[in-house]
Amino acid sequence: MSKPIVAIVGRTNVGKSTLLNRLAGKRLAVVAGLPGTTRDRVFASVIWQGQEMTVIDTGGWLPDYSPASADSSLQRKIESQIKAAISQADAIIFLVDGRNGIITTDEEIAEMLREIAKPMVLAVNKLDSHKQKSQIADFYRLGTGQPIPISAYHNRGIDNLMDTVLAVLPTTSQQFFTESPEAKLAIVGRPNVGKSTLLNALLGEERAIVDESPGTTRDSLDAEIQQDDKKILIIDTAGIRRRARATAGVDYYSLLRALQAINRCDVALLLIDAAEFVTAQDMHIASYIIEVGKGIILVVNKWDLIPAEQRKEYQRFLLSRLEFLSFAPFLYVSAELGQGLDTILPQSWDIWQETRRRISNSAVDRAVKQAISSHPPASKGKRRLRVIKAYQDESRPSTFILKVNDLRLVYSSYQRYLENQLRHHFSFRGVPLHLTFARTAGKTKRKTEVM
């Protein structure tokens, strides 16, 4: 089953990043009052009314030949990104600025969107007063449906917007992927880190094209492998380019296919290049894998290029750089030479089993309350956090629900402590744990998650 993709499209400075941050419930995208702040897409896994989706924040569309578009080459790249996002999106949020009214660029985007004929919702942002909302009728002339007034910054109209988006999304039956009989692995990473070479080495055959040119693999390739009595489906994804360098639409198409593969898999093998160490983009990919709750193994490829006397220091520095992945195994391999590959599939299988582990409600509740008894949370005045009940989510084994007396008493440091204690009791090696705190019955619920 695939999560639908929703692309936020619009000209510069209409509030796309602010809307994404609002939907994700946290500050994911850079927000600034300058046109062109977001020159590429930012991706977030969002759950709305129980529906999971991947939301894409695209770069701002600048009018051709305008003073603000002096770098026409950059603008062409941004347009390619937007078109690639639209081509792969299941639905589109067309965002416009309600305070400035319709300008030529809005009309250009609207014309392009009408030609594509995909499910679309027109959102008119920055409407913070009833007087401004009275001007919304003018946006009907864009011909992209009924305009929905919102203020992403002040959290107004978001419920109505997302209810409308859910109504136009494809039904579950339209989002079907062929399920593998057993574990599904996705090989992901930046271009030219050796993903196809690794796939071929694991399969023992030339299933994927291998080339020194970055971005050789454009689509995802599925290959089934039998190990003893175990069947594993391996997904070799197109390289995820560093966003500032992904210039052509095909690269963004490949990026979206890679994200779809991450959404689809059970365990992601994140491949990095030992010679380039770990990049910011590697960390972004890791964060996305964690965010969507997939098992993860960090595979450091081209390990043969690191001199033997430097390896311990390299490993120490890597662990400090990727401390947020301390729960995951780090494997050091050379796909080209076939070194260190024998542990990849067995560990992947073990982590796949960890993603499916079920713990009894009583065991979870006992472990959490024991952790609280050993190290009580800090108090706020006369009030102290109490966990009334703790249990594992029925549909998401890596998610734990904690019913508490007061959400305001939940501090991030204590969340991390409880996560570590759950790992101490139940392991979940290679699996990101999500802790969801909710008020006890009878009070308004508000969720806080630990990634």
Mean pLDDT within 31-45: 52
pLDDT band at residue 124 under the 50/70/90 scheme:
very high
The two domains 5-174 and 183-355 share their CATH topology (first three levels equal): yes
Give the model's pLDDT for residue 38: 43
SS (H, E, C) the chain: CCCCEEEEECECCCCHHHHHHHHHCCCCCCCCCCCCCCCCCEEEEEEECCEEEEEEECCCECCCCCHHHCCHHHHHHHHHHHHHHHHHCCEEEEEEECCCCCCHHHHHHHHHHHHHCCCEEEEEECCCCHHHHCCHHHHHHHCCCCEEECECCCCECHHHHHHHHHHHCCCHHHHCCCCCCCEEEEEECCCCCCHHHHHHHHHCCCCCCCCCCCCCCCCCEEEEEEECCEEEEEEECCCCCCHHHCCCHHHHHHHHHHHHHHHHCCEEEEEEEHHHCCCHHHHHHHHHHHHCCCEEEEEEECHHHCCHHHHHHHHHHHHHHCHHHCCCCEEECECCCCECHHHHHHHHHHHHHHHCCCCCHHHHHHHHHHHHHHCCCCEECCEECCEEEEEECCCCCCEEEEEECCHHHCCHHHHHHHHHHHHHHHCCCCCCCEEEEEECCCCCCCCEEEC
pLDDT band at residue 33 under the 50/70/90 scheme:
very low
Mean pLDDT within 281-297: 88
Give the model's pLDDT for residue 400: 95
Burial per residue of 180-200, b for 16 or more beta-carbon CB atoms within 10 angstroms, e otherwise: bebbbbbbbbbbbbbbbbbbb
Mean pLDDT within 207-222: 52
Nearest-5° angle of CA 88, CA 90, CA 95? 95
- Tell me the percentage of the chain whose pLDDT exceeds 90: 42
Q: How many residues does the chain have?
A: 451
Give the model's pLDDT for residue 249: 47
Q: Write the CA distances from 360 to 140, 393, 397, 426, integer angstroms.
A: 54, 11, 11, 11
Other Cβ atoms within 10 Å of 249 Cβ, number: 17
Candidate from 80-89, 96-105, 177-186, 380-389 with smallest mean pLDDT: 177-186
Mean pLDDT within 282-300: 90
For domain 183-355, the CATH class is: alpha beta
Give the model's pLDDT for residue 75: 61
Contact 394, 292 (CB under 8 A): no
Indicate whether this model's pTM tops 0.75.
no
Give the model's pLDDT for residue 190: 82
Give the model's pLDDT for residue 272: 94
pLDDT band at residue 281 under the 50/70/90 scheme:
confident
pLDDT band at residue 448 under the 50/70/90 scheme:
very low
Mean pLDDT within 202-224: 59
Contacts of 281 (CB under 8 A, 6+ apart): 190, 240, 241, 242, 243
pLDDT at 302 over 90: yes
Contacts of 175 (CB under 8 A, 6+ apart): 1, 2, 3, 4, 90
Question: Using CA atoms, how far apart are residues 451 and 352, in angstroms rounded to an integer?
Answer: 18
Give the model's pLDDT for residue 41: 42
Contacts of 449 (CB under 8 A, 6+ apart): 434, 435, 436
Contacts of 391 (CB under 8 A, 6+ apart): 361, 364, 365, 400, 401
pLDDT band at residue 43 under the 50/70/90 scheme:
confident
Mean pLDDT within 390-408: 91
Residue spans of the domains in the chain: they are 5-174, 183-355, 361-450
Candidate from 60-74, 182-196, 319-333, 344-358 with smallest mean pLDDT: 60-74
CATH 3.40.50.300 describes domain 5-174: yes
Give residue 128's region: left, alpha or beta (phi > 0; psi -120 to 50). Answer: alpha
For domain 361-450, the CATH class is: alpha beta
Burial per residue of 425-451, b for 16 or more beta-carbon CB atoms within 10 angstroms, e otherwise: bbebebbbbbbbbbbeeeeeeeeeebe
Chain mean position to CA 56: 9
